[in-house]
Amino acid sequence: MKKWGILTVCLMLTGSLLTGCGNQNNDQASVSDNGKADGKTIVLGTSADFPPYEFHKMVNGKDEIVGFDIEIAKQIAADMGATLEVKDMDFKALLGELSSGRVDFVMAGMTPDENRKKEVDFSNSYYRAQQAVVVRAADKDKYKTMQSLEGASIGVQTGSIQEEIAKTIPGAKITGLGKINDIIMQLDSNRVDASIMEKPVAESFVKNVNGLAIADAVPDYKEDGYAVGVKKGNKELVDQINKTLDRLNKEKKIDQFVAEASDLAVSK
């Protein structure tokens, strides 16, 4: 199994930043009363450093954004008769881009908490995952409980649920960064002691980056699962997305997408 070195992680991050610099497509789709796209393109905003949800991968010699969120987004676009365009950016920028109309919907392992619901509307939940604590493998035995993280320096993604979890740890010194790749580099270089992230994401990085491990400490956090974010008031698009999600759930496609993306994330 090939391991991701720090250089590879840096290249992934560079690709993410370059991808996020594109201009808005003039053919961006609008959604009519019947839920179909009137234009040619519907634009997804994401933060593609979150395997297996969304991440960069060389496919046939080309850098592509892949993952199970992306597969779900493709299904949403197909059901609307539209072409999917993916824009990559920092997680913390997603809601602003959505509210401004520069993207049509966002998917990035996003939890529809009450603060976010004030800014945007959400679809039904489509996936739920556990949280995990990632540490350097040499330190794994130091962090057997959440209490052992008290006073530790913890890297988290800015604006994420994991940042909220970290704030509940007494004495924790929190480093918030826009990209998971940056957090991994901080951990590898001993600038933070641990990071809290989604378990599927944690498992992917641990399998691909030398010297990392998942600690025995498990955050006790109950959340409502992940949902698709849509600009406030766009009920037609929310309804269309929910129809697609209902279909995918009935067909057991989401579980299939998760399994396939997890395999892809750890493949050469």
The predicted model scores a pTM of 0.67
Same domain, 156 and 230: no
Containing structural domain, residue 72: 6-127+224-266
- Give the mean pLDDT of 211-217: 97
Apex 118 CA angle, 165 and 200, nearest 5: 40
pLDDT tens digits, 100-128? 999 999 999 898 989 999 999 999 999 98
Residue 1 lies in a domain: no
218 burial level (CB within 10 Å; 0-12, 13-18, 19+): middle
**115 and 202, same domain (yes or no):** no
pLDDT digits (tens, 9 = 90+) for 3-16: 344 444 444 434 43
Give the pairing type, strands 54-59 and 131-136.
unpaired
Q: Do 153 and 104 have their domain in common?
A: no
Burial 225-235 (b: 16+ CB within 10 A, else e): ebbbbbbeebe
State the CATH number of the domain containing residue 202: 3.40.190.10
Looking at the fold, whether 237 and 114 belong to one and the same domain comes out as: yes
Q: Helices 235-250 and 253-266, interaxial angle, to 10°?
A: 80
Whether residue 219 is contained in a domain is answered as no
Same domain, 136 and 123: no
Q: Is the pLDDT of residue 92 over 80?
A: yes
65 and 105, same domain (yes or no): yes
Question: What is the C-alpha separation between 27 and 30, in angstroms, rounded?
Answer: 9
* Domain match, 179 and 196 both: yes
Output the six-digit token pair for 111: 């939890």
Is residue 21 located within the same domain as residue 71? yes
* DSSP secondary structure code for residue 128 in this structure: -
Same domain? 69 vs 202: no
231-267 residue pLDDT tens:
999 999 999 999 999 999 999 999 899 889 988 887 7
Tell which of 214, 234, 254 closes a domain. Answer: 214
The structural domain count of the chain equals 2
Task: Tell me the C-alpha distance between 196 and 199, whole Å.
Answer: 9
